């Protein structure tokens, strides 16, 4: 389908004022398709002009103002309309296919009980896969929805719904919303309800997950209530979408969640069927807060065009962490933001695919690739910096005025700057120019001069930028003086300073630190107020392995872990030293979010990509030892023990460790406090499969034991990871062939296929990625091409030949999604090549 361009959207928005959609969906027409009829009422500013409406699928009827239109006049997804009168009524009927890739109306059959579930995902321009519409964000209208479904089903929508007859549902008209926020969910959901502050709260999941949701009902409802209370405290505008708020956990969802007003959809992996740490619960609470923030940022006030995607996502990201930290039991949520989300933002902003936070977007296809760490994490970081600069009171005053001016309408960057300048009294045009309208990340480095008494003669901070994006920015940061006290490192003094390149240049003096005893650790960006990479001074760098784990403040540790990660990726810290740092850190770390980060980021880049041969084996052994010690020393049932068990299950390579994993899988020798649940069983089996200690028979036995949808996905991943030629050939054919597989199965096969232990076995497929993936992408949406393109990339083939093949593909590839995937993954590969060059095997220590 052709993408809508910004020019086309501007012309159509100037022409049309859409007042109402009346949408009738029939979900009883079979397993392959559904029927859709949509009546659109709109006013035209001019007559005697042409425009178009979008509709996918098989067009069966179209009538404009009583006159039948020729269905054959449609060009792909665009049905032309000749506007001959001011007031118009368009009625379009179509038969549309169900999706299995999380777009349009996704259909899922639960293997646990054969129950069918449907949900609509209308974002980014997929509403047209469901009903005829003017599919752009600045043509908002009220939606009235009627649904026919099997009698035993529940149907949930954007507004309060009523079952008017067996299998017949009607929903109250919505407030004006863009088509991309339309949602219905249908199936035999298990539903739980509560009431809070005049709002009916609903939680819904498929029947086979009801027993997993039940123990978490209190937590889910409590977090939802707390978030509503905090938003109502900050915002003068109450919840803007009626008196219902449903949260629906749906299967095979591509993103984390979607902010449909009144009917938020979440991936149902957030219903935990196995043991998880508090970090995962905190992450779920943040997502709840993030999606609720969208009820104001994006839903009440929507962007005019995708240039201002950040007005949705950056604000929701910032508010999500702010509200989670201030209103729920997860009062250290900013640690998770620092140690995980910001790392995503830094990586995105240094890739060749970087873009400004407020980016120029040519068409909807291009917009899809901007849902990344810049629009989310960097944007949220910049907002946090803005709040530190203008003050919280002025920030909230500006936001509330923004809501008043643009409620149920659309706004752009210039509108937001106007209200914030007025509320704060600060000029923001230059701030916007350097922070929002130009890409790139700055690096802040301490320059210290210590006298013979061990006191600071001077402390300065040098700001630098990349040659590709040489912009320096104003930063308000904390600077922490940290000192050892026994086996603890604590802050002795912290100052906030403004770095202003306009008045100070690239180097800023800190006179308030002159004469102080030199710190054991001088920490820039203490408190994590800005978006910028930091470096340590010479003393801090030399003793980092001892200082970092001993630091008492978890947020300071998170900042330091982020700095160490960037030092590694910039080839300023050897991968072996980074692994040593992780192994020491695991021995003392107790914050769940930091532990999770050390678990997920300790192996792939530093070991599998940056090290080779004996060095890789030694580093993997160091990690395995650290995780093994966690298993034996951590308190039973604690987050530390959880990370230790799962870490060992990813790093085990020696026969004794693999024997232990096999024993655990058989139920023998499990440490006290560890439950051998379904997810842990698959984690253990996966490692045994990769290393050749288990095979197809064990996978099928586990699949027979775990008949859930999650079990089926795990089985696909394990089958693709089998270390034999036949298994790889089958997996590659399933991945790149024409067999219709769901989004989850495609992702699982791609994940399992490439393994660092199987480089020789998969060598024939390295170049096939670059020849086979373009044809795959041509059959898929850009979203799916990007997801599979990333996960199927031959990431462990860290060789210049891989990068050259990627460059050749990028010269011809047409798929926007595949292009973004190849650009980003090749950037990671080139980072690893640079680290290998900087730290060859004979000097890596």
Any idea which residues carry the catalytic annotation?
291
CB-CB contact of 309 with 259 (8 Å): no
CB-CB contact of 94 with 57 (8 Å): yes
CB-CB contact of 463 with 475 (8 Å): yes
Closest by CA to 789, choosing from 798, 781, 800, 797, is 781
Specify the DSSP class assigned to residue 215: G
| Encoded tokens for 228 | 């509503």
SS3 for 317-384, per residue?
HHHHHHHHHHHCCCCCHHHHHHHHHHHHHHHHHHCCCCCCCCCCCCEHHHHHCCCCCHHHHHHHHHHH
* CB neighbour list of residue 515: distance below 8 Å, 6 or more residues apart: 455, 456
As a whole number of angstroms, the distance between CA 746 and CA 764 comes to 20
- Report the chain's C-alpha Rg in angstroms: 27
As a whole number of angstroms, the distance between CA 502 and CA 509 comes to 14
Residue by residue, DSSP assigns 18-38 as EEEEEEEEE--S-SSEEEEEE
Q: How many CA atoms lie within 13 A of 697 on its CB side?
A: 2
SS3 for 463-529, per residue?
EECCCCCCCCCCEEEEEEEEEEECCEEEEEEEEEEEECHHHHCCEEECHHHCCCECCCEEEECCCCC
* CB neighbour list of residue 611: distance below 8 Å, 6 or more residues apart: 575, 576, 619, 844
Strands of the 104-109 sheet, one edge to the other: 104-109, 116-121, 184-187, 154-157
CB-CB contact of 589 with 598 (8 Å): yes
CB-CB contact of 70 with 80 (8 Å): no
């Amino acid at each position: 389908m052709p993408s809508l361009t910004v020019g086309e959207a501007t012309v159509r928005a100037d022409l049309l004022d859409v007042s109402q959609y009346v949408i009738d969906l029939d979900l009883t027409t079979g397993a392959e398709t559904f029927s859709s009829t949509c009546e659109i009422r709109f006013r035209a500013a001019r007559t005697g002009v042409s425009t178009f409406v979008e509709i996918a699928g098989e067009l069966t009827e179209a009538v404009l103002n009583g006159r039948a239109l020729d269905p054959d006049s449609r060009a792909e997804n665009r049905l032309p309309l000749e506007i001959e009168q001011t007031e118009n009524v368009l009625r379009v009927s179509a038969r549309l296919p169900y999706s299995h890739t999380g777009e349009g109306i996704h259909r899922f059959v639960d293997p646990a009980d054969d129950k069918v579930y449907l949900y609509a995902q209308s974002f980014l321009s997929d509403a047209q896969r469901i009903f005829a519409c003017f599919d752009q964000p600045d043509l908002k209208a009220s939606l009235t929805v009627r649904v026919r479904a099997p009698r035993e089903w529940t149907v949930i929508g954007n507004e309060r719904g009523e079952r008017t007859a067996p299998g017949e549902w009607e929903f109250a008209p919505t407030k004006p919303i863009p088509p991309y926020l339309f949602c219905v969910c249908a199936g035999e959901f298990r539903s739980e309800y509560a009431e809070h502050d005049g709002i009916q709260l609903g939680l819904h999941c498929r029947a086979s997950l009801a027993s997993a949701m039940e123990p978490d009902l209190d937590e889910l409802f409590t977090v939802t209530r707390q978030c509503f209370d905090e938003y109502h405290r900050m915002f003068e505008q109450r919840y803007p979408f009626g008196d219902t708020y449903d949260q629906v956990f749906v299967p095979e969802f591509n993103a984390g969640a979607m902010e449909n007003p009144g009917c938020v959809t979440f991936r149902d992996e957030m219903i935990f069927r196995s043991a998880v740490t508090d970090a995962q619960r905190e992450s779920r609470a943040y997502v709840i807060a993030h999606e609720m923030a969208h009820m104001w940022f994006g839903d009440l006030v929507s962007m005019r065009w995708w240039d201002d995607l950040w007005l949705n996502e950056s604000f929701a990201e910032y508010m999500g962490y702010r509200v989670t930290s201030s209103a729920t039991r997860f009062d250290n949520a900013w640690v998770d933001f620092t140690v995980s989300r910001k790392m995503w933002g830094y990586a995105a902003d240094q890739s060749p695919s970087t873009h400004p936070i407020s980016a120029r977007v040519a068409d909807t296809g291009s917009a899809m690739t901007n849902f990344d760490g810049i629009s989310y994490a960097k944007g949220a970081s910049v907002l946090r910096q803005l709040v530190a600069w203008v003050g919280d009171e002025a920030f909230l005053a500006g936001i509330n005025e923004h809501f008043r001016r643009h409620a149920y309408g659309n706004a752009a960057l210039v509108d937001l700057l106007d209200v914030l300048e007025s509320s704060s009294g600060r000029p923001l045009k230059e701030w916007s120019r350097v922070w929002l309208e130009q890409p790139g990340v700055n690096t802040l480095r301490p320059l210290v001069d210590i006298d013979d008494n061990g006191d600071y003669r001077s402390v300065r901070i040098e700001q630098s930028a990349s040659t590709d994006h040489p912009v320096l920015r104003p930063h308000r940061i904390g600077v922490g003086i940290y000192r050892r006290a026994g086996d603890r490192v604590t802050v002795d003094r912290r100052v906030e300073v403004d770095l202003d390149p306009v008045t100070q240049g690239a180097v800023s003096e800190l006179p308030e630190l002159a004469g102080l005893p030199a710190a054991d650790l001088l920490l820039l960006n203490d408190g994590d107020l800005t978006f910028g990479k930091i470096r340590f001074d010479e003393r801090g760098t030399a003793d980092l392995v001892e200082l970092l784990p001993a630091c008492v403040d978890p947020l300071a540790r998170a900042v330091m872990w982020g700095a160490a990660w960037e030092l590694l990726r910039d080839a300023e810290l050897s991968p072996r030293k980074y692994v040593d740092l992780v192994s020491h850190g695991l021995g003392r770390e107790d914050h769940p979010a930091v532990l999770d980060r050390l678990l997920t980021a300790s192996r792939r880049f530093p070991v599998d990509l940056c090290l080779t041969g004996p060095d890789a084996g030694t580093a993997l052994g160091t990690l395995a030892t650290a995780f093994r010690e966690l298993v034996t020393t951590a308190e039973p049932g604690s987050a530390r023990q959880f990370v230790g068990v799962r870490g060992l299950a990813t790093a085990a390579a020696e026969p004794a460790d693999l024997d232990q994993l096999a024993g655990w899988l058989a139920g023998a020798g499990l440490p006290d406090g560890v439950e051998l649940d379904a997810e842990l069983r698959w984690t253990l089996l996966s490692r045994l499969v990769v290393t050749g200690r288990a095979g197809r028979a064990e996978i099928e036995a586990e699949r027979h034991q775990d008949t859930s949808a999650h079990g089926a996905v795990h089985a696909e991943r394990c089958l693709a990871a089998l270390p034999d030629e036949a298994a790889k050939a089958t997996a590659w054919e399933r991945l790149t062939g024409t067999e219709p597989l769901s989004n989850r199965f495609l992702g699982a096969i791609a994940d399992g296929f490439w393994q660092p232990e199987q480089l020789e076995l998969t060598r024939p497929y390295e170049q096939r990625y670059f020849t086979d993936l373009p044809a795959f992408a041509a059959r898929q949406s850009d979203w799916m091409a990007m997801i599979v393109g990333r996960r199927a990339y031959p990431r462990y083939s860290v060789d210049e030949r891989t990068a050259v093949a990627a460059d050749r593909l990028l010269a011809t590839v047409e798929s926007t999604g595949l292009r973004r995937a190849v650009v980003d993954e090749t950037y990671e590969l080139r980072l690893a090549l640079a680290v290998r060059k900087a730290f060859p095997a004979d000097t890596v220590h």
